[in-house]
Amino acid sequence: MTIFWIFLGALIASSVWFLYFKFEVADKMSIARWVGAAISVLWGSFTIAWIASSLAEGEAQAAGMGLLLFGAILFGLIFLTIRIDVIKSKGLKSNLDKTNPVKS
């Protein structure tokens, strides 16, 4: 399992650098997205660790259910992280519409 934990650490590091080079450099990351990305990376690591640890102790059903439940939550987190600025800007727009209604 020691190799697995090293692998997981490397995976987290790679994920952060991937996000940085792919999106931050291209100016696609905001603070909200970084927070979302950090939570997603940690949750993803937790999911992988759960699956690996369950398989290591011979609990195949626990590994499968972990993949299903924690994986579904991970997809939700990734979706939210991608859409967060869109949601924010939509919210901002609707607030602006409410405070400054267009006069006809």
Partner 1 sequence: MALENENTEKNENTEAPKIGSKGVSRRGFLKKSVGLGVGAAGAALLGIEMPGDSGKAYGITEHDTFPVEMNSEYKRYDQRGNVFFRGYGGEKQIMPMLNEYLGKKMGVIPTTGGEGFGQLEFALRGAAWSVEDDINDYHAPGYAGLGLYKWEGAISPNKYQFSSPDEASKILKKASLFLGADKVGIAPYDDRWIYSYSIVTPDLNKTEGQKLDHKNSASPDMVFQETKFPFTPTNVLVFVLEMDFDAINAAPGILEHAAVGNEYSDMGNIAHKVASFIRLCGYNAIPCGNDTGLSVPMAIHAGLGELSRIGILVTPDYGPRVRLCKVITDLPMTPDKPITFGVKEFCTTCMKCADACPKQAISREKEPSFDKATISTSAGVKRWSLNCEKCISNWAELGSDCAVCIATCPYNKHKEWQHDLARVGTQTPAKSLLRYFDELFGYGKIDTVQKTKEFWNKKS
Rounded to a whole number of angstroms, the minimum distance from the CB of residue 54 to partner 1 is: 7
CA distance 70 to 48: 9
Rounded to a whole number of angstroms, the minimum distance from the CB of residue 90 to partner 1 is: 28
Report the residue number, 2 or 99, with the smaller CB distance to partner 1: 2
Rounded to a whole number of angstroms, the minimum distance from the CB of residue 19 to partner 1 is: 9
DSSP 29-94: --HHHHHHHHHHHHHHHHHHHHHHHHHHTT-HHHHHHHHHHHHHHHHHHHHHHHHHHHHHHHHHHH
Which residues contact partner 1 (rule: CB under 8 A)? 1, 5, 8-9, 12-13, 15-17, 20-21, 24-25, 34, 38, 41-42, 45-46, 49-50, 53-54, 57-62, 65-66
